[in-house]
A and B are shown apart, each in its own frame.
Chain A
Amino acid sequence: MIRTKFLVPLLLFIASLGVLAFFAGALMERIIEGPISNQYGAKIEVDSIDVSYFPLSVHVKGVDVTDLNDAMKNAVSIETIRFSMAFLPLIEKKALIPDLTVEDLQFNTVRTKSGAIQRQTEALDASKKKEPGLASKASKKVMSSKLAKKTKQKVNEKASQLKEDAFSFQSPEMENPVQLKTRQEAAALEQEIKDLQDKWEARFKENPAKSEYMALKTDWAQFKAQYPSNIDSIETITQQITKVKSLQDQSKAFVETISAEKKGFDQDYQHVNNKINRLSQLAEQDYQNAVNQLNTDTYSFDNITEMYLTAVVEQKIDPVMTRVRQGLSTYKRFRGSAPPKVNSTWRHPGQLIYFPKERSLPTLWIQRIVLSASTNAKQSLRGEIFNVTSYQAAVGEATMGSIKGENLTGAGHLLDLEFTYDDGSRSTAGFKFNGAVSGISVPRTTVVQKGSETIYLDSANLVISTQGSYQKDLLDVRAVIDARRLRFKQRGISMDAFTLNRLIFMSLVSMPRLKVNAQVTGTMDDWDLSMSSNLDKFDVGGLMTDQLAQKKKKLREQLDADVQKQKEALNNIFTQQKDQLNQKVTGYQDQATQLENQLDERVQAESAKIKAKQDALKKEAQDKIDAEKAKLEAEKARVKKEAEDRAKKEAQKALKSLGF
């Protein structure tokens, strides 16, 4: 019933597997030094790999990974890697590593032989062929380089700084510069005057009522040309007067137009003039601002630590945060979040029934890592990490570790760090750590740098204790920086003058120990730093009032002189421009007035003519009346005489008849 001819190859197959297992170490060595090295691009050398199967354990000795950028250096060099592995979980594609020891891990060690491989240079040649020209590559690189961007940014910053500097004012007695509103306003006014000049120059380039003026002139010339040679009647004169009056109306309209322009021009310049006069009001504000910056007789600072140390501490924290972010993203990639693959099938999909498991293993579980590492710069690290796993809930224990380091953060520094990481399966979810760095001697550090005044820390011994957590994306790190053996020195501070920097210096010098509490809270991308220390609260009194009054007086004089200078400069430009433009507009006004005067004269002349004519006509009529009157009187006398003569005759006749 058994196929005997199959048994022989089966046994042979099993035997060959045994042989393969026996040479597994040598085979792995070949694979690492051959295809894997080629894939990496530089030599990876392994002294030996020993694999034993009962229990399954691997012992790797002398691993040297060549630096890709420098073939005469090792990027990583490890003396020993030793790990044991549970066999049965491997069948379930799970790696349970009870013990992983990495001994003497070193970075950037020097190689005795070059670690370059042929493939690397070939690849380099191939990439060179594909690459664009050197010049375009270089220019592209330069343009996109950090330096170029930084230079561009610096130029912009410098330009805005220059602008700001022009408006800023600081006397030696002042703490900080103030931005002078008068200078800002003066600059704005200068521009306004220029704009005004442009505006009115454009308008006064020629007569603003040129067309009206030309029309009036033509009409006037026409009137004079068409004036009749013989004026003998009042009607004719009246007609001429009507024409002249119409011209006079035109002239008045023209004068009004010019006057309106002149009014606008005057108003504009008056407006600017008012602004120039208001500079004095702004000067008062500037003075008040500047006075606030004067060293007063009482100082009270709530948080001098934040003022002076925040920027320094932030610079130290930033790179750490970047590293932590990188670590977190690597961990997230390692854990993975993709849903399981579902194969499509024609069959009914069915249902998986799960039964209770005694212990479900995660895909990877390194129960203990013993690590020791060192560098050429005498940096060393030694520690143990427990329960590094891809799924902590299956392990039921948090990842924890304790690491001790020497010279890691700086020469002579001793690091002592303990941490736990809980992936969220328990109430203590999150990352927590507790660490201390001691033996930090601070190099010469500038604390205050203002003008020629400098306060620097010459020597100190620091211990930084840190305690923190990172839970649900929220960061809370508290650090205490305990500085002893503080030695502050100063340069440029006048020790007999009462200034803020002197006060700071005196306070710092009198302080034997500085204890700074720093707290970083927020998220990894948006964190906030707050700091406090025993330097925070200090009040000083005693600056003499008259000293301050003198300073104020001096400041007032300086600012008044500054404003006066601004005003004079503005008035010079203003008056010069206004006079020039005024001359032009006055010229246009003169033209109008001249023409108007001519027309007035003409009207008067025409009116005189009419009067003369009227007088002549009146006299002629009177003479006629007088002649008629005399004629009538003569007739009357003649008639009377005739009547008298007749009466006389009749009386004589009657008397004769009567016989006298």
Chain B
Amino acid sequence: MIFWVLKQIKKLLTQLNSTESPSVLAMGVVFGVLLGLPPFHFFYVFLVVLLMLILKVNIGFALISLPLFKALGVLLSLLAHQIGLFVLQELSFLKGLWTFLFNLPLIPYTGFNHTVTMGSYVLSAVLGPIVFFGTRRLIGVYRRTIKGRIERSKFMTVLKSSRYVGWIFRFLAE
């Protein structure tokens, strides 16, 4: 398990430092938001994962960010409940839509009529673009400035010259 985590961190760092498009990496984080924030509903998760596999999205970034947004989902569940209650009950002009969706064959399996789930979907929709643009910008900043500084730092020089670190990296690469 520790090795797997280390492997993912190494992969993440490699991709972060590679020439891969920042948008692809940022989309991965957005999928992390989509998977992590709402409570588990099989049909919804199936659809998001399928989309994640079809679209060119960094899966590693999605998986790494998933627990983070899962925890955030738990913390924001009360807020999500209130948003969901407002959306499902207070916005009367949407009731027709919800009734229509409720009568469709598969859509109720997304749990959209559950207040916390609906609230989480709304939060994901709001946070998604923010997370996407924010992450893309952060990655750009990192690659332009921070990456070079880190590479030139004494710590990295020592680390790179260390024989043990080389072994660990080779081991993780296998």
Residues of A within 8 A of B (CB): 1-3, 6-7, 10, 88, 91-92, 345-358
Contact = CB atoms under 8 A, between A and B. Distances in A.
Contact of A347 (B77, B88, B98): B77
Contacts of B77: 346-348, 350
A529 to B, nearest CB: 52
A88 B116 CA distance: 27
A14 B88 CA distance: 36
A592 B113 CA distance: 114
A347 to B, nearest CB: 4
Contact of B54 (A7, A349, A350): A7
A56 to B, nearest CB: 14
Interface of B: 39, 53-57, 73-74, 77-78, 80-81, 84-85, 88-89, 95, 98-99, 102-103, 105-106, 108-109, 113-117
A348 B106 contact: no
A3 B39 contact: no
B113 A355 contact: yes
B116 A350 contact: yes
B84 A352 contact: no
Q: Which of A346, A351, A353 has the most CB of B within 10 A?
A: A353
A345 B117 CA distance: 13
18 contacts: A2-B54, A3-B54, A10-B53, A88-B105, A346-B74, A346-B77, A347-B73, A347-B116, A348-B78, A350-B39, A350-B77, A350-B117, A352-B114, A352-B115, A353-B89, A353-B98, A355-B103, A357-B103
A351 B77 CA distance: 12
A250 B4 CA distance: 119
A6 B56 CA distance: 10
B115 A6 contact: no
Nearest to B80: A348
Contacts of B81: 348, 350-351
A84 B115 CA distance: 37
A339 to B, nearest CB: 19
A348 to B, nearest CB: 4
Q: Could you tell me the dominant secondary structure of chain B's interface residues? A: helix
A314 B102 CA distance: 55
A348 B102 CA distance: 22
B98 A351 contact: no
A353 B115 contact: yes
A10 B51 CA distance: 12
Contacts of A350: 39, 77, 80-81, 84, 114-117
Contacts of B78: 348
Contact of B88 (A2, A349, A353, A356): A353
Nearest to A87: B105
A232 to B, nearest CB: 136
A354 B109 CA distance: 13
B26 to A, nearest CB: 13
A355 B39 contact: no
Nearest to B27: A1
A91 B113 contact: no
A352 B113 contact: yes
Nearest to B112: A353
A355 B92 CA distance: 12
B99 A1 contact: no
A355 B95 contact: yes
B55 A1 contact: yes
A1 B77 CA distance: 33
A350 B55 CA distance: 32
A88 B109 CA distance: 13
A357 B116 contact: no
Q: Which residue of B54, B55, B88 has the most chain A CB atoms within 10 A of its CB atom?
A: B54
B102 A355 contact: yes
B73 A357 contact: no
Contacts of A357: 102-103
A347 B39 contact: yes
A356 B100 CA distance: 9
Nearest to A1: B56
A318 B80 CA distance: 61
A1 B51 CA distance: 11
Nearest to A346: B74
Contacts of A2: 54-56
B16 to A, nearest CB: 20
